[in-house]
């Protein structure tokens, strides 16, 4: 069977809306894919600010933004379809939305971008609210991508996505994944202290000096001692980690150097913990995607921790680096369309696997 779908992803780094048009083929239970078209539709300063401040809105204003942002997403999809002449080629759209709240311990998660509004704008079937059912079954609702990794990218041993939050997955008989630590969101905030939008390639971090005292405080955060399944809300990075770094009174270069090392340490600790659960394997391969895969200094620090353990870090082609999450959103939409599981309970800790996602039918019967 062949399926063509669009996946939408808005990450916590707030750089823009990722849109990917993907062709999937399924033969005898084996899946393959090709990203046919993909782009990031950048947010204006206004939209970036509105999404960032959404958690502080009153209920009515939040729901109005939820609807407005859904219509905004639908219009961006229509522009994408027009640009690449995809009329009548898209079977389903799957939207992750933009996470405003994530509190699985309280049984709640919320992503902005109303699926009904996207469906109304595009007049296509739309799958949204991909995390909600897993949360209702007592799971973390995150990470959301592991089933796609398992079925589409099964030749790798580990997966690391370095976005606003870094999450790690182990591909084994028992598939395990969890959020490792805040990443690009905090790095970008520290770069902004130096008047930069981001630390291009990690150059500023590479010029700084590691501050051991701060690194020890960062590594001592309670979250890192919790067992999996576990996941992070954006506020852990913006409301706890970033203020902790600022209190140290470091130069931006030293702060970036120290926090980059923190990411490398936490990822290596996570992988070491996962390695202990399976037979010793030489030459294990870690696939690195997300915006952090372009941070050369971070990759060097990761390699320095992982290569002695026989783990090689691999960065794929630029399209997969940038659009892996949008690719997997499209895939989860296809699985939902087929009434197949979209979430692994071994990852999230839910009572059972589930077929997650609300389906909105935008076209006429």
Residue 349 located in a structural domain: yes
Q: Are residues 119 and 202 in the same domain?
A: no
Each residue's pLDDT, cut to its tens digit, for the chain (365 residues) gives 999 999 999 987 788 999 999 999 999 989 999 999 999 999 999 999 999 999 999 999 999 999 999 999 999 999 999 999 999 999 999 999 999 999 999 999 999 999 999 999 999 999 999 999 999 999 999 889 999 999 999 899 999 999 999 999 999 888 999 999 999 999 999 999 999 999 999 999 999 999 999 999 999 999 999 999 999 988 999 999 999 999 999 999 999 999 999 999 999 999 999 988 876 677 899 999 999 999 999 999 999 999 998 899 999 999 999 999 999 999 999 999 999 999 999 899 999 999 999 999 978 86
State whether 165 and 292 are in the same domain. Answer: yes
Using an 8 Å Cβ cutoff, are 256 and 295 in contact? Answer: no
Residue 256 covered by a domain: yes
Please give the structure tokens belonging to residue 178. Answer: 């969890």
Residue 279 counted as domain residue: yes
The token pair that represents 240 in the structure block:
């706890």
Domain co-membership, 301 together with 166: yes
Q: Do 355 and 311 sit in the same domain of this protein? A: no
Q: How far apart are CA 242 and CA 250, in angstroms?
A: 12
Judge if 12 and 131 occupy the same domain. yes
Residue 206 domain flag = yes
**Is 303 within a domain?**
yes
pLDDT of residue 280: 62
Q: What residues does 288 pair with on adjacent strands?
A: 160
At 226 the pLDDT is: 95
The verdict on 123 and 189 lying in the same domain is no
Do 208 and 265 fall into the same domain? yes
What ranges in the chain are assigned the alpha helix state H? 45-53, 59-83, 115-122, 132-136, 146-152, 184-192, 203-207, 212-219, 234-235, 242-247, 252-275, 296-306, 318-337, 345-348
Residues 312 and 342 in one domain: no
198 plus 347 within the same structural domain: no
Domain membership flag for residue 70: yes
CATH number at residue 102: 3.30.420.40
Number of domains in the chain: 2
Containing domain of residue 16, as a range?
2-142+338-360
Whether residue 333 lies inside any domain: the answer is no
197/120 same-domain check: no
- My answer on whether 219 and 137 are in the same domain is no
pLDDT of residue 27: 94
Cis preceding-peptide flag for 350 (omega within 30 of 0): no
Give how far Cα 216 sits from Cα of 71, 210, 239, 265, Å: 45, 11, 18, 11
Quick count: other Cβ atoms within 10 Å of Cβ 292? 25
Q: Tell me whether residue 130 is in a domain.
A: yes
Question: Using an 8 Å Cβ cutoff, are 66 and 112 in contact?
Answer: yes
Both 127 and 230 in one domain: the answer is: no
């Amino acid at each position: 069977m062949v399926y063509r779908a669009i996946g939408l992803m808005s990450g916590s780094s707030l750089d823009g809306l990722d849109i990917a048009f993907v062709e999937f083929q399924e033969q005898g239970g084996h899946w393959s894919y090709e990203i046919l078209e993909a782009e990031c539709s950048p947010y204006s300063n206004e939209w970036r600010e509105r999404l960032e401040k959404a958690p502080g809105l009153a209920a009515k204003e939040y729901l109005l933004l939820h609807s407005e942002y859904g219509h905004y997403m639908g219009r961006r999809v229509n522009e994408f379809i027009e640009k690449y002449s995809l009329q009548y080629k898209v079977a389903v759209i799957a939207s992750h939305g933009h996470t405003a709240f994530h509190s699985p311990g309280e049984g709640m998660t919320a992503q902005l971008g109303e699926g009904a509004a996207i469906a109304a704008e595009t007049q296509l079937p739309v799958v949204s609210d991909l995390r909600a059912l897993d949360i209702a079954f007592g799971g973390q609702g995150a990470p959301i991508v592991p089933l796609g990794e398992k079925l589409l990218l099964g030749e790798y041993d580990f997966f690391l996505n370095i976005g606003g939050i870094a999450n790690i997955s182990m591909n084994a008989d028992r598939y395990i994944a969890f959020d490792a630590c805040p990443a690009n969101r905090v790095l970008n905030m520290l770069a902004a202290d130096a008047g930069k939008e981001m630390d291009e390639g990690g150059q500023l971090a590479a010029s700084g000096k590691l501050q051991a005292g701060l690194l020890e405080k960062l590594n001592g955060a309670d979250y890192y001692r919790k067992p999996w399944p576990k996941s992070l809300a954006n506020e852990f990075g913006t409301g706890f980690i970033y203020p902790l770094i600022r209190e140290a009174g470091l130069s931006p270069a030293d702060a970036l150097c120290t926090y980059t090392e923190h990411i490398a340490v936490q990822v290596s600790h996570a992988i070491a913990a996962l390695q202990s659960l399976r037979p010793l394997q030489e030459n294990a391969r870690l696939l690195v995607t997300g915006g952090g895969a372009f941070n050369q200094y971070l990759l060097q620090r990761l390699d320095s921790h992982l290569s002695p353990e026989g783990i090689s870090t691999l960065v794929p082609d630029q399209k997969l680096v940038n659009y892996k999450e949008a690719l997997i959103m499209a895939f989860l939409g296809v699985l939902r369309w087929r009434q197949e599981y979209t979430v692994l309970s071994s990852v999230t800790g839910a009572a059972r696997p589930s077929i997650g996602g609300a389906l909105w039918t935008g076209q006429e019967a």
